[in-house]
Amino acid sequence: MKLAGQFRLPQKFSRRDVLTRFLSFALFVITAATIPLVNSASQSSGVLTGNWAAKIPNADGTVRATYFNLKQDGSRITGSIRVTQFYYLITDGSGGPESFVLNGSMRDGRSERKVRYEGKLVGDELHLTTRRRPEDRPTELVARRAPDGEGALPARIPPPTLHKVRYNGLAKTPPMGWNSWNKFAGRIDDATVRGIADVMASNGMKDAGYLYINIDDTWEGGRDAQGNMLTNKKFPDMKALADYVHRKGLKLGIYSSPGPNTCAGYEGSYGHEEQDARTFAAWGIDYLKYDWCGARTLYTDEEMPAIYQKMGDALLKSGRPIVYSLCQYGRLDVWKWGADVGGNLWRTTGDIRDTWDSMTNIGFKQNELAPYAGPGHWNDPDMLEIGNGGMTDIEYKTHMSLWAMLAAPLLAGNDLRTMSPAILEILTNHDVIAVDQDRLGKQGTLQSKSGDQEIWSRSLSGDAKAIAIFNRGKEEAKVTVPWADLGITAKSKVRDLWLHKAVEVIGSEYSVTIPGHGVVMLRVSP
Ligand code: GLA
């Protein structure tokens, strides 16, 4: 071999040695050349680095996705995790392909949310587990590589400067109707909404004042190429559904979020406010519940008014009268600015649950908010749980009475198609509804409290007033109050709003026995 002949091999090396030495040299060269790459890979782009998505299809054609945007530096893992609408920063991530741990954290108003995933690389998939609480069984996820940028938090659009949004002239009395969330959550669909509308139009509820049929979260489908909001498979034709509801003499409400995603992780209105308001108007929507949820990663609580104002403006601009319901759990004292951004009502609390404790913890805490309610703008202590099964009928009467005293929106949250006559009777108590809907729009307040008994009163039009005596205790209680303390004289006309009969003003005191968790509600007219 000519080339080889130019080299003089030391005699002591055999041909085999030469081959071995050559191969080791070659290996060294390859290794040396690779080290910087391997090093840089282990320092800045380990095999875990990249965008990973765990996608679980929903039956409605949408996908529930969790994104892991990871950067592996040796055994250190940084990056972010997005779980539906929650964007977590990885604060403590470590390990490698065989086993890694990701701890994520996000600010949520004044509190912090955390997630923790454990995982390993199997082939080209990440196999992960997570638990809500340490004592829970782990949830398993499989994530695959996703294109860069998919699932990323969109760029922040600066909030607009504040101005006062003109009142839309709606909700002169607290809105009444029905909302899908408490009973159906993600299981709401077109057929159910139609069924509920049929019943509400014919069972006496419509006559009692119930008007809005509100679809809560999980109707959204995503966007078309022009950015128009689409519905998912559960709602094939929203315009047709609105027409159907309108033909029943009822109105249709819908739900969205100022963030990129809703609470359930569906498409939000972020960056599409005017476009979505136009879409809603074109469909014939009459009511929008606008839920902060997905906006929390992009904006601080202090920026809420500006962000809510955006949709307030957009709804007005759409030209259709649409009741505007703010849902941000009462943060940043929303009652002080809700009306200025165009809100007709605003949630004052976190989500209600179908329990006595949840309902009363919310309802009895509304006293100080009374000055902020009035025609066109209402405090919203959340939707009714009446008929959902977690409370007794006595407790549901208390729920209905308390909400009426609070001039709260009356949005039934149960399955109207299957409720008992007793529940229908509670929901359609005309006397109690008349208190809720009184045109003065003055929210009731706590007048006095003695142990478990509270007396609330509410001024009504025509110099009348409503009085509710609540027994928050478990045991039956006999309550005796001087008529004078209730502002009742011998000339007053007093009506018991649950017994539907006149109460005689005799003697100097009113004496009544109230069951545990029960209420007596009176209307006093001059
Ligand atoms: C939040 C709201 C609820 C409901 C859900 C829907 O929790 O407070 O009323 O709208 O989102 O995801």
DSSP 430-486: HHHHHHHT-TT-PPPEEEEEETTEEEEEEEETTTEEEEEEEE-SSS-EEEEEEGGGG
Beta-carbon neighbour count of residue 224 at 10 Å? Answer: 9
Distance from the alpha carbon of residue 175 to the mean position of ligand 1, in angstroms: 18
Residue 263 alpha carbon, nearest atom of ligand 1:
12
Distance from the alpha carbon of residue 351 to the mean position of ligand 1, in angstroms: 7
**Looking at residue 479, what is its pLDDT?**
97
Residue 289 alpha carbon, nearest atom of ligand 1:
10
Separation in Å, CA 142 to CA 49, 139, 151:
16, 10, 16
Distance from the alpha carbon of residue 263 to the mean position of ligand 1, in angstroms: 6
Give the residue, out of 85, 326, 327, 362, with the most ligand 1 atoms within 8 A of its beta carbon, to mutate for a pocket test.
Answer: 327
Distance from the alpha carbon of residue 149 to the mean position of ligand 1, in angstroms: 28
Would you call 387 helix, strand, or coil by DSSP? coil
- Note whether 197 and 244 are within 8 A (CB): yes
Give the residue, out of 263, 353, 354, 380, with the most ligand 1 atoms within 8 A of its beta carbon, to mutate for a pocket test.
Answer: 263
Residue 351 a catalytic site member: yes
**Looking at residue 44, what is its pLDDT?**
55
CA-nearest residue, atom 6 of ligand 1: 217
Distance from the alpha carbon of residue 329 to the mean position of ligand 1, in angstroms: 9
DSSP 404-424: HHTT--EEE-S-TTT--HHHH
In tens digits, what is the pLDDT along the chain, a chain of 526 residues? 333 333 333 334 445 444 544 444 444 334 333 333 333 333 458 999 999 999 999 999 999 999 999 999 999 999 999 998 899 999 999 999 999 999 999 988 778 999 999 999 999 999 999 998 889 999 999 999 999 999 999 999 999 999 999 999 999 999 999 999 999 999 999 999 999 999 999 999 999 999 999 999 999 999 999 999 999 999 999 999 999 999 999 999 999 999 999 999 999 999 999 999 999 999 999 999 999 999 998 999 999 999 999 999 999 999 999 999 999 999 999 999 999 999 999 999 999 999 999 999 999 999 999 999 999 999 999 999 999 999 999 999 999 999 999 999 999 999 999 999 999 999 999 999 999 999 999 999 999 999 999 999 999 999 999 999 999 999 999 999 999 999 999 999 999 999 999 999 999 999 999 999 999 999 999 9
Residue type, 136: D
Extract the tokens encoding 318: 């759409």
Whole-angstrom Cα distance, residue 461 to residue 252? 30
Distance from the alpha carbon of residue 217 to the mean position of ligand 1, in angstroms: 7
Residue 291 a catalytic site member: yes
Q: Which of 198, 340, 351, 452 is catalytic?
A: 351
CA-nearest residue, atom 1 of ligand 1: 263
Whole-angstrom Cα distance, residue 264 to residue 186? 8
**Looking at residue 85, what is its pLDDT?**
84
CA-nearest residue, atom 9 of ligand 1: 351
Residue 351 alpha carbon, nearest atom of ligand 1:
8
CA-nearest residue, atom 8 of ligand 1: 351
User: CB within 6 Å of ligand 1 — which residues?
Assistant: 181, 216-217, 262-264, 291, 327, 351
To which H or E segment does residue 95 belong?
Answer: strand 86-96
Whole-angstrom Cα distance, residue 290 to residue 294? 11
Give the residue, out of 83, 351, 353, 382, with the most ligand 1 atoms within 8 A of its beta carbon, to mutate for a pocket test.
Answer: 351
**Looking at residue 30, what is its pLDDT?**
40
Distance from the alpha carbon of residue 349 to the mean position of ligand 1, in angstroms: 11
**Looking at residue 107, what is its pLDDT?**
86
Whole-angstrom Cα distance, residue 231 to residue 252? 15
- E strands of 155-250, at which residues? 176-179, 212-214, 220-223, 229-231
**Looking at residue 176, what is its pLDDT?**
99
Q: Which of 60, 189, 286, 291 is catalytic?
A: 291
- Note whether 476 and 516 are within 8 A (CB): yes
Residue type, 389: G
Give the residue, out of 290, 293, 331, 352, with the most ligand 1 atoms within 8 A of its beta carbon, to mutate for a pocket test.
Answer: 293
